[in-house]
Amino acid sequence: MSLLNPTYLWALLALAVPIAIHLWSKRKVKLIKIGSTKFLNELDAKQTNAIQLNERFLLLIRFLILALLVLLLAKPLLKTDSSNNSITYLIAPSLLNNEKVISFLDTVPENSKRVLQSSFPAIDGYSVAESLKLVPGYWQLAKEMETIPSDSIVVFTNSFVSGIKGMLPEINANVQWVSIASELSLNNTVIRATLMKDSIQLLLVNEGFQHLGFEKETLPLKSDRFRINTAKDSLTIALEKNQYQVPLIPFQTIQVRIVYEDSLVNQMKYIRAAYNTAARYLKKPIEIIADKQGESPGLITTENLIWLSKKPLPIFEGKAVLFRPDSMASSLIVPAPIKNRFHLTSLLNAKISIEGRLVEQLILTLDLNEGLKAEIASHDKRVVPVEEIRTEQPFEAQDKMLATFFDLSPWLWGLLILMMLVERILAKYRRQ
């Protein structure tokens, strides 16, 4: 049996009141003076015993009445039979090789521990090597926790920033979040190498629990810090007493074709100038081919296309920026509903090109860092306080949890009424 409001049990001290009344009533002896005992009958011993027994029953009934009132205030609940686990432990994949967590898991029944991952698989047979690369989406999995047959759930997590996606949910499950300090090693890691004309450009990520930074380092081709393989598609480099093997991206010229109509020839000139500026900033050559509309063969093989025409774009599989004026657009170049399509939303001049950051936006359409986002995500070890990922339980969820208990209050009310009737009957019999 459980009590919803156990604090009211202090009221059981009121049981001392019937005892005090009982002892006080015994002290009240009324003395009557009579002249003779001739006409008095001797008191029957059985009747005396009955009176004493009645008083004791009356005292016990009053005890029960007060105790029942206190229990009603404490709201007793009787747990019903359920196939649910009392507690289920969910462990983030990156913590499966944590010594503190492992020592704790040894004390937990096997059917009570699962991996914090979609469908919550059992820990036995789970690949720890693969788990180090996984960062679960905390709030998406929180909604899935509602399907776990358990009275309460304890989640052990690193509370990585990359695991927070979407809005904080309210879930119909009793979930407690526990943050474990990560023991992963944090250092500088090479994630990309680009072969330039006479050097190698390295992209390094600086991992940290509070920050994630990047930096570029350029090494001459004759440097002894790295070794390029025979196929020239990867290199091995030593960094901070560690060796990394990363793909080697060959030096390539970026191709851009501008197709324009006569009325938009000035727009072509501004875009050509913007690409020339981008080439100096990126330190990569950009080959620009400008063709008047109707004189532009080989569109299919062009990597990037600028379509300065009001006519529909022909079939084209690469990236294309289309001239589509839009006075309501929030940016000079905006993504189109179709993949790899962008809209140039305004006519260009020197002022608009500078204030609208034309150079930066054209660089973004080139997508020079394709595939880099996923690589960076695997190195993001920033953490947040566990309070920022802790989910909330709405009132209806608490009512749902209470539904697994049987409320004894109606039965106690019936017993209380019965005890009060018995108390009145015994009190009346005592007076007679």
Look-up of token digits 């940016």: 331
**Beta strands at 333-335 and 341-344: parallel, antiparallel or unpaired:** antiparallel
Domain with CATH 3.40.50 in the chain: 254-368
Position 430 pLDDT exceeds 50? yes
Position 210 pLDDT exceeds 60? yes
The CA distance from 240 to 105, in Å, is 35
pLDDT digits (tens, 9 = 90+) for 384-413: 887 777 777 664 544 555 555 667 788 888
pLDDT at 397: 47
The answer to whether 55 touches 430, Cβ cutoff 8 Å, is yes
Q: State how far the alpha carbon of 202 is from the alpha carbons of 206, 212, 228, in Å.
A: 13, 17, 13
pLDDT at 52: 60
pLDDT digits (tens, 9 = 90+) for 153-181: 888 888 888 888 877 777 777 888 888 86
pLDDT at 216: 82
Q: Rounded mean pLDDT of the chain?
A: 79
pLDDT at 375: 75
Q: Which of these, 276, 293, 273, 274, lies nearest to 284 by C-alpha position?
A: 276
CA 134 from chain center: how many Å? 14
pLDDT at 73: 83
Mean pLDDT in residue range 208-212: 76
Residue 146 — φ and ψ, nearest 5°?
Answer: -60, -20
pLDDT at 354: 93
Least trusted range by pLDDT, from 170-174, 310-314, 351-355, 360-364: 170-174
Q: What is the DSSP string of 254-293?
A: EEEEEEE-GGGHHHHHHHHHHHHHHHHHHTS-EEEEEEET
pLDDT digits (tens, 9 = 90+) for 21-61: 666 766 555 677 776 666 666 555 555 555 566 677 777 88
Beta-carbon contacts of residue 196 (< 8 Å; ≥ 6 apart):
218, 251, 283
Position 346 pLDDT exceeds 50? yes
pLDDT digits (tens, 9 = 90+) for 88-139: 889 888 888 888 888 888 888 888 888 888 888 888 777 766 566 677 888 8
Position 144 pLDDT exceeds 90? no
Rank 153-167, 255-269, 281-295 by mean pLDDT and report only the highest.
Answer: 255-269
Residue 357 backbone zone (phi > 0: left; psi -120 to 50: alpha; other: beta): left
One-letter identity of residue 398:
Q
Would you tell me which CATH number, out of the four given (3.40.50, 1.10.3470, 1.20.120, 3.10.310), belongs to the domain 254-368?
3.40.50
Rank 116-130, 162-176, 199-213, 354-368 by mean pLDDT and report only the highest.
Answer: 354-368
